[in-house]
Chains A and B, each alone.
Chain A
C-alpha cells in the first residue's frame, strides 16, 4: 500500500490546480476553436458543423477592417505614450531624495484605481461642457461624442491607467543599474543624456521589452472602457476586436461566429507576441 501512496501523492497535490486549469483554460480553448467551425444554438450547443464558413464570413465582414484599424489606432497611441511618460516619471523619481516617497506614491497612484473607477472619473473629466480637461487644455472637443476623437479619448484614459504599473517597473529597473558603471561614465565626462542612452537604456531593456509586450497584448484585447463609455460608437469609431467578439456572442447570440472572432484575436495576439520575440533577439540586452 505504501508504495502506491508514494506514487500518487504528488499527483494529489497537483490535482486541484490542474483540474481548474484544464476545465477553465484548456477545455474552453479547445472548445472555442471547435465552436468556430460550427453553428451554435442559443443554449451553446453546436448544432451543425459548417467548416470554414464562419471564418470566410469573418473576412467578408466589414467589422474586420474597422475593428482592426480602431484597435491599431488605440495601440499606436497608448504604447508609446505610456512608455515615454512612465520612463520620464521613473527618471524623475530615480534618485533617492528626501520626500522621495511622497511623489513616488503619487506617480504610482493610477495603479490603485480600477478600470471602471478610472472610466467614471474620465467621463466627467473629459466632459465637453463641465469637464476640467477641455478647460485646462483650452480644447473644445467632445471627446467621446465625436467620431474623430472618441478613440483618442479612450486612449488618453488608458495611458493614465497604465502609468503606475510601468512607472514602478521602470523605477525598479533603473535603480538596479550598477552605480559603478554610472560613476565610471561620470569620470569619462559623459553627460546625463549619454548615460541614459548608452548605459541605462541597454541595461533596462529587458524590463522595457516585458512592459511593451504586456501592453501590446493588453491593447489588442481592449474592451472595458469602450463598453462603458461609447458602446462602440459614435459611428462605430471605437469598435475594437474584443468588442466585436462580445457583440457577436452575447448581443447577437451567435456563439459560433463569436468564437471564430475569438480564434482570430488569439492568432493575432500570437503573431504579435512572436514578432516581438524576434525583435527581442536584436534589441534586448541581457547581462
Chain B
C-alpha cells in the first residue's frame, strides 16, 4: 500500500515535469538557438542544443542593433507610466474610500465604466489627439494614454476600505491633514498592494505593443516589444541573433515573474475576481 502510493507520487511528479518541459519548450528552444551558429541552426534534424556555445549572436545583437536603447526606452516608459498610474489611482481611490461627497457614486461608476471600453478600439482618435498635441515620437506620447487605470483604482479603493476609519480620525486629532495622512500613514500601510500593482502594471507596460508601434516611427524611440520584431541584419540567416535578442529581453520579465510570482498572481486574481 505504502509502496504503490509512493510509485504513484513519483509517476505524477515525472509526468508533471514532462508536461512542464513541453509547456516551457519554446522558451528553452529560444535560449538554445541563441547560442547556435548558422550551420547549427540549418542542420537537419533540427537541434535543441548548440554543439558549442556560440556567443557571436549576442555580440551581434549588442553591437549592431540598438537593443540596449530599446530596453532603456521601455524601462523608462514602464516605470514612469506605472508611477503615474499609482499616483492617479491612489488619489482617486482615497477620495472614494474616505470622503462622502455629492455624486461620489456617479463619478466612481464613470471611472469604472472605462473597463467596458476596449482600449484598442480607441487608437484612431487617440492617435489624432496625440498627434495634435505634437507628442508623436515622444515618451510622453506613449505614456499619456495609459496614465489612468480603473482596475488599479478599484483595487486600491477596496484595500483602503479595509483600513479602520479610526486611523484617520486619530491622525486628524494629532493634527494631520488629509494629504499628510495619505502620504505618511496610508500609503506606507498599503505597501503590499502597491507593490502588487507596481509589478502587474510594469509588466503590462513593458509588454505593450500596439500603441507604442503607432506613436513611434523613428528607430531610437522604439520600445523593446516593437523593436525586437524589426531587427535588421545583413545576412539572411538571422534567427540566431534574433533569438539572442529575444533572450535578452526575456531575462528581465522572467526574472520579475520568478521573483514576484506571488504578488503578481495576487494582484491579477484580485483585480479579476473582485473586479
Contact = CB atoms under 8 A, between A and B. Distances in A.
A271 interface: no
B91 A13 contact: yes
Nearest to A259: B124
Contacts of A99: 13, 17
Interface string A40-71: 00011000000000000000000000000000
Contacts of B53: none
A124 B33 contact: yes
Contacts of A110: 23-24, 26
Contacts, number: 244
Given A28-B122, A117-B250, A124-B33, A18 B111 contact: yes
Contacts of A98: 13
Interface centre among A17, A108, A163, A259 (most CB of B within 10 A): A17
Interface residues of A, number: 86
Contacts of A105: 258, 261
A207 B228 CA distance: 34
Contacts of B257: 108-109, 111-112
A155 to B, nearest CB: 15
Interface string B248-264: 01100110111001000
Interface stretch (A142-150, A189-197, A262-270): A262-270
Contacts of A252: none
A284 to B, nearest CB: 13
A160 B153 CA distance: 30
Contacts of B91: 13-14, 16-17
Contact of B228 (A16, A116, A160, A249): A116
Given A106-B24, A112-B253, A120 B118 contact: no
B128 interface: yes
Interface residues of B, number: 87
A84 interface: no
B144 A132 contact: no
A95 B117 CA distance: 38
A39 B17 CA distance: 58
B117 A262 contact: no
Interface centre among B21, B46, B256, B257 (most CB of A within 10 A): B46
Nearest to A13: B95
Contacts of B101: 7, 10-11
Interface string A240-251: 001001000110
Contact of A115 (B15, B24, B125, B225): B225
B120 interface: yes
B244 to A, nearest CB: 11
Given A16-B87, A108-B261, A97 B95 contact: no
Interface in B11-47: 12-13, 15-17, 19-21, 23-24, 26-27, 29-30, 33, 41-42, 44-46
Given A99-B17, A130-B41, 14 more contacts: A11-B101, A14-B96, A17-B89, A17-B153, A20-B148, A28-B124, A28-B129, A35-B124, A92-B19, A102-B17, A103-B20, A116-B209, A116-B229, A130-B239
9 contacts: A13-B92, A13-B99, A18-B148, A114-B207, A115-B207, A115-B209, A130-B41, A165-B268, A172-B265
Going nearest first, the 10 A-B pairs with the smallest beta carbon separation are A106-B20, A44-B128, A20-B148, A112-B257, A17-B92, A28-B125, A13-B95, A10-B99, A103-B20, A114-B207
